[in-house]
Chain A
Amino acid sequence: MALVSVPSLMQDLTAGQGQIDIEGETIREIILNFEKAFPGIKDRLCDGDRIKPFIAVYVGSELSQAGMREPVSPDSEIHFVPAISGG
């Protein structure tokens, strides 16, 4: 299971939990399973079938370039962070 860090501003949906183990081999699967556990999460993270433009996804120390298709390994650490704009 991948370890997902929940952004503090989304912890209202996870009853304050900051880190959650979630099954999934891609970011898409992770988000769908995340939504099952905590309804409402997907709307915060996605516009339809894509990550919202102002959210960036890190798998380990690498900024994901493949969005929902980004592969995830069981020992991955996943971070949803505010995307950098204005640069």
Chain B
Amino acid sequence: MAENKEFKVIGTRPIRHDGIDKVTGRAAYGADIHFPDMLHGKVLRSPYAHARIKSIDISKASSHPAVKCIITSDDLPLVEDTITELGETVINLKYLSDNILASDKALYKGHPVAAVAATDPYLAEEALNMIEVDYEILEPVLDVRQAMEPGAPVLHESLKKESMGKEGDHSQNVASHSQRKNGDLEAGFAAADVIVERDFSTATIHQGYIETHNATAQYNEDGELTVWCSTQGAFGVRDQLSKILKMPVSKIKVVPMEIGGGFGGKVQVYIKPIAALLAMKTRKPVKMTMTRTEVFEGTGPAPGSYIRVKLGADNTGKITAAEAHLVFEAGAYPGSAVGAGSLCIFAPYKIDNLQIDGYDVVLNKPKSSGYRAPGAPNACFASECVIDEICQKLNMDPIEFRLINGAKEGDRRCDGPIYPKIGYLETVEAAQQHHHYAESIDQTSNGKLRGRGVASGFWMNGGGRSSVTINVNSDGRINLIEGSTDIGGTRASIAMQAAEVLGLPAEDIMPAVGDTDSVGYTGVTGGSRTTFATGIAAINAAEDIRAQMIGVAANHWELRPSDVKFKDGTFLAQKNGEALQMTFKEVAAAAGGPLVGAVTASPGGAGNGFATHIVDLEVDSETGKVDILRYTAIQDVGRAIHPSYAEGQVEGGVAQGVGWALSEGYLYNDEGHMTNASFLDYRMPTSYDLPSIETVLVEVPNPGHPYGVRGAGEVPLVPPLAAIANAVSRAIGVRMTELPMSPDRVLEAMGSI
């Protein structure tokens, strides 16, 4: 952790402003909302993975005395089958609407088909069982490669393959094909002394946030809709509600409650429009919360994938050519993270000859959604494993190999654009110098096989729109209202940037997350954008306040603003040879009224994120069980505003990566029913499954941010899958190419079963 002597607040570790509420149980999360007269909503979900909905009979259920309202897709406004821009993403409205309540077809087990509002949650559940749905059961398709086969069951009759503006001629399950190509692939492979080509597959997995989705809606007689909910972006929810319900955004207020984890899974709406519709029809507050099983079966998981990578290098270790073929599960509707995966797969390296093809494929699983660096972990698992095998074939140290091939400022990214200032090589050098890498490990210990793995990862990081309002109180303390929901301590990291500008201690800034009526448009807390983009908005607002206060001081001293200087929270001037000075608090008092700074910003220049991880682990050769012994994660964060929370992002990403690599994955039976839709059998790591994780924050300041911030939240999940796979493969002497590396798969790879 580099010293930031030039800063007063940045780089320190104050207690987060919302901390006390969260350790005392007072913090109000979405499910903590209660209205005395509220109704409870429940969703009827398809028991089939693929079925035509012939009819829905709600007459029996409607006669239930506790039932106040029942809705089906007929109650949703008709929306056109067109792609439109929605906030910061693009989406087909028909698909968006059909995923809320299925219209003609149910496309996955758990797909909502109807919803009930009743006076009691248990009675709402009872009423669901009285709704009679007539299904025509269709054959499901659950594997991307099978879904691409001619003659596979087709999910959407209207879906035709899109490839860079060209539309296919017949309907099938491949939603899109993208390609990135540079140089001369054939020549590149011809120049290679060693070539490795392998197929990889990764399971469908879930973000696993501990708080399930929830929404409470109220509709007033004047047509104003309010929705209290758990979301990564209140404005994104407002945009989606406006499109799905065909309501003007100004009629919708979304109140973001505290959020119990998102990781990309709380951007897309699910029950929010249903709660809204039930509230609009009953004119009563309607509260809905999902069960854990509903979350697994009915919300966007991260896509499972099939990836083929071919890589060539010469005897000096220089990569001569790289080829990748990525096929991602979109789920029931188009839009997987294959685009991001294709962009990230070779991003840490300078490769002159390459071709990357990405395919987005629909199949009978829930519509996939983002999960922390969407697509990149899948993609880099494949590429970083092939690189490790190349290193073995060349008998070359994997860190050395990365130093030879690593990308730096001025090199060309795989899809053409030139890299600005990046810190990839700095993470590799830090790994090389780290005592973890210096200390060797024994290959075996009491019958266990040990291995060390190294892998790198990339995430582009995002900018986008953020808004911040700063109000200076007469006592000199500051209320800061931001639009970014705080999932991991961003109230602190944003307040600290404003505090730095104003020369105040972090504690003098009181940050709050505003609802959509009380702060300007702000994009989702996602894309590793919040500390960067909302931070810039906060810095700009603070600079505005500083200028206003210089004016106040000048006015007070009867000087020109240009005569007043500001240093370390004090205003200074010279008048008739006399040194004048006022503290921030004195000027705030002198202002004689509130000072307000409101800013909206949409900064580019987010600055890419890179990481390099080292893991030591142990394989029980008799049971196939893998235990992580030691983990070191090195990441360029540009500048750590609050180092503890930057480290926390890394440690959390590593833990999720361990789960993805070893124990997590959707299991399906032949009918397309998930067989492990609970925290018992969807195995996320517990505290007893992990060692202490050592984090090294490298700081290569991002020129696109006044303090050098780079997004830090997503890239930590990119290297672990490959790092762990490389360590297991080196420990057992067999290449592992399928995730999760469950004990039975390890035993099979070793030929024990």
Note whether A and B contact each other (Cβ less than 8 A): yes
B178/A87 in contact, CB under 8 A: no
Inter-subunit contact B605/A85 (CB<8 Å): no
Q: Which B residue's beta carbon lies closest to that of A5?
A: B416
* Residue from A53, A65, A81 in contact with B416 in the complex, judged by beta carbons closer than 8 Å: A81
Beta-carbon contact of A86 and B415 below 8 Å: no
A7 interfacial contact with B, CB 8 Å: yes
Q: Is A73 an interface residue (CB 8 A)?
A: no
Interface SS of chain A = mixed
Is A7 touching B370 in the complex (CB atoms < 8 A)?
A: no
C-alpha spacing A13/B692, complex, angstroms: 56
Against B, the Cβ 8 Å flags (1 = close, 0 = not) of A17-47 are 0000000000000000000000000011100
Assess whether B370 is in contact with A87, with CB atoms less than 8 Å apart: yes
4 other A-B residue contacts (CB within 8 Å) besides A53-B84, A63-B604: A44-B166, A61-B420, A85-B89, A87-B375
Q: Is the CB of A86 within 8 A of B181?
A: no
**Are B339 and A86 in contact, CB atoms less than 8 angstroms apart?**
yes
CB distance from A67 to the nearest CB of B (A): 10
Interface stretch, picked from B38-46, B330-338, B400-408, is B330-338
Residues of B within 8 A of A10 (CB): 164-165
Q: Return the chain B residue nearest A8 by Cβ.
A: B181
CB-based contact A54/B419 at 8 Å: no
| Interface membership of B180, Cβ < 8 A | yes
Residue B320 interfacial (CB < 8 Å): no
Binding site for A on B (CB under 8 A): 83-85, 89-90, 162-166, 176-181, 264, 303, 330, 335-340, 342-343, 355, 358, 368-370, 374-375, 415-420, 460, 462, 526-527, 602, 604-605
Can you name the residue of chain A whose Cβ is closest to the Cβ of B84?
Answer: A53
User: Does the CB pair B90–A85 fall under 8 Å?
Assistant: yes
| Cross-interface CB contact of A87 among B179, B355, B374, B604, cutoff 8 Å | B374
Residues from chain A with a CB closer than 8 A to the CB of B460 are 84
What chain A residues lie within 8 Å of B330 (beta carbons)? 86
Q: Which of B84, B162, B337, B604 contacts A54 (CB 8 A)?
A: B162
Q: How far is the CA of A65 from the CA of B465 in the complex (A)?
A: 11
Residues of B within 8 A of A86 (CB): 303, 330, 335-340, 368-370, 374-375
Would A53 and B343 count as touching, CB distance under 8 A? no
Question: A9-B179, A58-B417, A84-B340 in contact; A53/B166 too (CB < 8 A)?
Answer: no
Tell me, rounded to whole Å, the shortest Cβ–Cβ distance linking B319 to chain A. 20
Question: Using Cβ atoms and an 8 Å threshold, which residues of chain B touch A65?
Answer: 602, 604
Chain A residues with CB below 8 A from B336, complex form: 85-86
Determine the chain A residues whose CB is within 8 A of the CB of B179 once the complex forms: 7-9, 82
User: Beyond A7-B179, A79-B415, A82-B180, is A87–B90 a contact (Cβ under 8 Å)?
Assistant: no
Assembled-state Cα–Cα distance A65/B88 (Å): 11
Q: How far is the CB of B628 from chain A (nearest CB, A)?
A: 28
Set of chain A residues within 8 Å of B337, measured between Cβ atoms: 84-87
* Top 3 closest pairs, chain A to chain B, by CB: A44-B165, A53-B90, A9-B164
Instruction: Give A46 Cβ to nearest chain B Cβ, in Å.
Output: 9
Q: Chain B contacts of A52 at CB under 8 A?
A: 165
- Tell me which residues across on chain B come within 8 A of A82, comparing CB atoms: 164, 178-180, 339, 342, 358, 415
Collect the chain B residues with CB atoms within 8 Å of residue A9's CB: 163-166, 177-179
Interfacial chain B residues near A45, Cβ < 8 Å: 165
Q: How far is the CA of A63 from the CA of B165 in the complex (A)?
A: 19
Question: Hey, which chain A residues are within 8 Å of B419, CB to CB?
Answer: 61
Known contacts A10-B165, A55-B165, A61 near B339 by CB under 8 Å = no
Question: Nearest B residue to A63 by beta-carbon distance?
Answer: B604
Q: A62 interface residue, CB < 8 Å from B?
A: yes
> Within 8 Å CB of A74, what residues of B?
none
Which of A10, A45, A55, A61 counts the most B-chain CB atoms under 10 A from its CB? A61
Q: Is B181 touching A54 in the complex (CB atoms < 8 A)?
A: no
Which chain B positions have C-beta within 8 A of A7? 164, 179
Kindly list chain A residues whose C-beta atoms are within 8 Å of the C-beta of B369: 86
A81-B370 contact in complex given A43-B165, A86-B338, C-beta closer than 8 Å: no
User: What is the CA–CA distance of A82 and B347 in the complex, to the nearest angstrom?
Assistant: 15
Give the CA-CA distance A53 to B335 in the complex, in Å. Answer: 12
Complex Cα spacing A61 to B6, Å? 29
> Inside 8 A of A85's CB, which chain B residues have their CB?
89-90, 335-337, 339
Is A87 a contact of B165 with CB atoms below 8 Å?
A: no
A61 and B355 alpha carbons, distance in the complex (Å): 20
Residues of A within 8 A of B166 (CB): 9, 44
Give the complex CA separation of A8 and B605 in angstroms. Answer: 26
**Across the interface, which residues of A come within 8 angstroms of B374, CB to CB?**
86-87
Report how far A84 CA is from B527 CA in the complex, Å: 11
In the complex, A79→B182 CA distance in Å? 12
Contacts of B420 in A (CB 8 A): 61
User: Contacts A7-B179, A87-B374: A77 and B418 contacting too (C-beta < 8 A)?
Assistant: yes
Residue of A nearest to B163 (CB): A9
Which residues of A have CB within 8 Å of B417?
Answer: 58, 60-61, 77, 79, 81
Counting chain A CB atoms within 10 Å of each CB, the highest count among B165, B177, B337, B340 belongs to B165
Q: Which residues of A contact B163 (CB under 8 A)?
A: 9
CB distance from A28 to the nearest CB of B (A): 17
B370 surroundings in chain A (CB, below 8 A): 86-87
Q: Does A58 contact B416, Cβ atoms closer than 8 Å?
A: yes
List residues of chain B with CB within 8 A of the CB of A60.
417-418
CB distance from A31 to the nearest CB of B (A): 12
Residue in chain A with minimal CB distance to B415: A81
What distance in Å separates the Cβ of B295 from its nearest Cβ neighbour in chain A?
19
From B83, B416, B605, contact of A79 by CB (8 A): B416
Residue of A nearest to B331 (CB): A86
For this complex, 29 residue pairs linking A to B, each with C-beta atoms less than 8 Å apart, are A7-B164, A8-B180, A8-B355, A9-B163, A9-B178, A10-B164, A44-B164, A53-B90, A60-B417, A60-B418, A61-B420, A62-B605, A65-B602, A82-B164, A82-B180, A84-B340, A84-B460, A85-B89, A85-B335, A85-B337, A86-B303, A86-B335, A86-B338, A86-B369, A86-B374, A87-B264, A87-B337, A87-B375, A87-B527
For A8, the chain B residues whose CB sits under 8 A away are 179-181, 355
Q: Closest CB-CB distance, B89 to chain A, in whole Å? A: 7
CA distance A31 to B335 in the complex (A): 27
In the bound complex, do residue A55 and residue B335 qualify as a contact, i.e. CB atoms below 8 Å apart? no
CB distance from B162 to the nearest CB of A (A): 7
